[in-house]
Amino acid sequence: MPSLRRARTVGFLAAIPLLLPGCMMHRPSAGEPVSLAIVNARVWTGDPRRPWADAVAVRGERIAAVGSSAEVRKMAVSTTRVVDAKGQMLVPGFQDSHVHFIDGGFRLASVQLRDARTPAEFIARVKAFAATQPKGSWITGGDWDHEQWGGELPQRSWIDSVTPDNPVWINRLDGHMSLANSAALRAAGVTRSTADVAGGTIVRDASGEPTGILKDNASWLVDQHVPPPSEAQNDRALDAATRYVAARGVTSVHNMGTWDDLATFERARAAGRLITRIYAVVPLASWARLRDTVAARGHGDAWVRIGGLKGFVDGSLGSHTAAFLQPFTDAPNDSGLLVNTPRDLYDWTSGADRAGLQVIVHAIGDRAIRTQLDIFERVAREDGPRDRRFRIEHAQHIAPPDIARFSSLGVIASMQPYHAIDDGRWAEKVIGPERIRTTYAFRSLLESGARLAFGSDWFVAPPTPLEGIYAAVTRRTLDDRNPNGWVPEQKIGVEDALRAYTLGGAYASFREKDMGSIERGKLADLTLIDRDLTRIPPETIRDAQVVMTIVGGRVVYERGAAGSAPQE
Choices 402-410, 424-432, 450-458, 501-509; region in contact with Zn ion by CB under 5 A: 450-458
519 binds Zn ion (CB under 5 A): no
Contact between residue 149 and residue 118 where contact means Cβ atoms under 8 Å apart = yes
* Structure-derived torsion over alpha carbons of residues 358, 362, 366, 371, reported in degrees to the nearest 10: -50
Using CA atoms, how far apart are residues 483 and 481, in angstroms rounded to an integer? 6
Instruction: Count CB-CB contacts under 10 A for residue 561.
Output: 9
- Centre a 10 Å sphere on the Cβ of residue 449 and count the other Cβ atoms it contains: 11
Q: Which x/- pattern, by CB under 5 A, does the window 351-390 give for Zn ion?
A: ----------------------------------------
Looking at beta carbons only, is 1 or 111 nearer to Zn ion? 1
Q: Choose between 261 and 457: whose C-beta lies nearer to Zn ion.
A: 457
Query: Is residue 412 within 8 Å of residue 451, measured between CB atoms?
Result: yes
- Using CB under 5 A, which of the segments 72-80, 425-433, 457-465, 469-477 binds Zn ion? 457-465
The amino acid at residue 377 is: E
Q: Does 415 bind Zn ion (CB under 5 A)?
A: no
Smallest distance, Zn ion to C-beta of residue 165, A = 32
Which alpha helices (DSSP H) does 249-358 contain, by range?
259-271, 287-297, 342-354
Do residues 421 and 476 make contact, with C-beta atoms less than 8 angstroms apart? yes
Nearer to Zn ion, 15 or 360 (CB): 360
* Number of residues forming the site for Zn ion (CB under 5 A): 2
Distance (Å, whole) CA 432 – CA 428: 5
Residue 460 near residue 394, CB atoms below 8 Å:
no
- Residue 1 binds Zn ion, judged by CB under 5 A: yes
Report, in Å, the least distance between residue 1 CB and Zn ion. 4
Q: How far is the CB of 500 from Zn ion (least distance, A)?
A: 17
Measured CA to CA, the distance from residue 45 to residue 376 in angstroms comes to 33
Task: Report if residue 63 touches Zn ion, rule: CB under 5 A.
Answer: no
Q: Does 457 bind Zn ion (CB under 5 A)?
A: yes
Residue (of 31, 1, 3, 4) closest to 15 by Cα position: 31
Shortest Cβ 301–Zn ion spacing (Å)? 25
Instruction: List residues bridging with 458 in a β-sheet.
Output: 99
For helices 342-354 and 287-297, angle between their N-to-C axes, nearest 10 degrees: 10
Q: Which is nearer to Zn ion, 58 or 361 (CB)?
A: 361
**Span 264-293, contacts to Zn ion by CB under 5 A:** none
The one segment of 258-266, 268-276, 454-462, 516-524 that binds Zn ion by CB under 5 A? 454-462
Instruction: Give me the least distance between CB of 118 and Zn ion, in Å please.
Output: 27
Nearer to Zn ion, 457 or 519 (CB): 457
Count of alpha carbons within 13 angstroms of residue 314, beta-carbon side: 28
Which of 422/457 has CB closer to Zn ion? 457
> Nearest to Zn ion by Cβ — which residue?
1
Which one, of 398, 368, 358, lies nearest residue 508 by Cα?
358
Of 314 and 457, which has the nearer Cβ to Zn ion? Answer: 457
Distance, in Å, from the CA atom of 506 to the CA atom of 487, rounded to the nearest integer, reads 28
The dihedral through the CA atoms of 88, 91, 96, 102 has a sign that is positive
Question: Cβ 393 to Zn ion, closest distance in Å?
Answer: 7
Nearer to Zn ion, 71 or 457 (CB): 457
**CB closer to Zn ion out of 428 and 457:** 457
Residues in touch with Zn ion (CB under 5 A): 1, 457
